[in-house]
Amino acid sequence: MNTPLVLAQSLSILAFASYGMACIISPHFEAEFERYGLPKFRRLIGLLEIMGALGLLIGFVFDPLRVLSAGCLSLLMVCGIAVRIKIKDNFWAMLPALILMLLNIFICIAPSIN
């Protein structure tokens, strides 16, 4: 068993499931997406995060879905970092997206658990 992969995958599942749900239902995230200039995309991004978390969960038993989901979540975080750069957020505001991007790149390229 690849313990670092299991831990990384579990952390990513928890992070994206919780961020995705918050993105859909939290007034704080509604205000954040206004600040980003992307209010129409808030629910879509939340749904993509939840779908990515589900894909990682299923990826524990179906490895190709792990790779696909982690790759897509990495790209989503690249876009999130780009938005934060565009609106001139500081490094500390970008750090969660950067960490999640790197975590999911690791999940994407790590050898299979099985």
Percentage of the chain exceeding pLDDT 70 = 97
Q: How far apart are the C-alpha atoms of 31 and 56, rounded to whole Å?
A: 28
Confidence of residue 15 (pLDDT cuts 50, 70, 90): very high
The model's pTM: 0.92
- Find the helix or strand (DSSP H, E) in which 48 lies: helix 42-58
Longest dimension (CA), the chain: 43
Show the tokens assigned to 5. 């992969």
In Å, what is the CA distance from 89 to each residue of 12, 20, 80, 96? 23, 21, 11, 12
